[in-house]
């Protein structure tokens, strides 16, 4: 599929995951031009394969994404050490943002998919459901706080806005993802 410069062009980081894959397929269904970012090719999607933890490889891979108008960030790298997990996930987003800035992508919006880990539920915190955006986040280290810092550090230089979505539950079928 050729990516058109006249359409909204989505770059879906984490295109092989439950959230990213479902989102990419739905955007495609709605007529968007869609590219996935993943470690391996994703069946049915134009995929940029890259290890997002590698800053140079990410910048090089994103050279073809210079017409990206919308970044949907649903990538995740898990680690048992929460400090390492937070640093890694923040840097992955930072690598994408820097790569898109280097190719002067006309980014309009960044949509980041967070989860209830922002409130510390994975550490046993009692979280009201539904939560509210005004509820305080969990103390660092937290992957979503790290990602928010990456966005904040680059916001004044960008012409994009940012929306963070925080579903309390994600349900999906990974068998459809190749």
pLDDT recorded at residue 5: 47
Q: CATH number for 9-169: choose from 3.40.50.720, 3.30.360.10, 3.40.50.2300, 3.40.30.10.
A: 3.40.50.720
Mean pLDDT by runs of 10 across the 178 residues of the chain is 66 95 94 96 95 98 98 96 96 98 97 89 84 83 94 94 86 66
pLDDT digits (tens, 9 = 90+) for 134-163: 888 888 899 999 999 999 999 999 999 999
52: tokens are: 């997002």
> For 90, phi and psi rounded to 5 degrees?
-65, -45
Domain boundaries, the chain: 9-169
> For 61, phi and psi rounded to 5 degrees?
-65, -35
Whole-structure pTM value:
0.91
Single out the residue of 37, 153, 138 nearest to residue 82, CA to CA: 138
């Amino acid at each position: 599929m050729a990516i058109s410069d006249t359409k909204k062009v989505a770059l879906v980081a984490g295109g092989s995951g439950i959230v990213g894959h479902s989102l990419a397929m739905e955007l495609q269904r709605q007529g968007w031009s869609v590219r996935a970012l993943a470690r391996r090719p994703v069946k049915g999607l134009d995929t940029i394969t890259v290890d997002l933890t590698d800053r140079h490889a990410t910048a090089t891979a994103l050279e073809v994404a210079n017409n990206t108008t919308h970044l949907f960030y649903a990538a995740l790298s898990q680690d048992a050490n929460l400090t390492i997990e937070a640093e890694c996930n923040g840097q992955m987003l930072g690598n994408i943002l820097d790569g898109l800035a280097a190719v002067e992508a006309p980014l309009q919006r960044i949509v980041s998919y967070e989860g209830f880990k922002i409130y510390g539920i994975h550490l046993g915190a009692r979280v009201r459901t539904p939560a509210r955006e005004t509820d305080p986040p969990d103390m660092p280290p937290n992957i979503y706080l790290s990602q928010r810092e990456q966005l904040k550090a680059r916001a004044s230089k960008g012409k994009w806005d940012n929306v963070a979505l925080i579903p309390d539950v994600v349900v999906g079928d990974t068998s459809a993802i190749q």
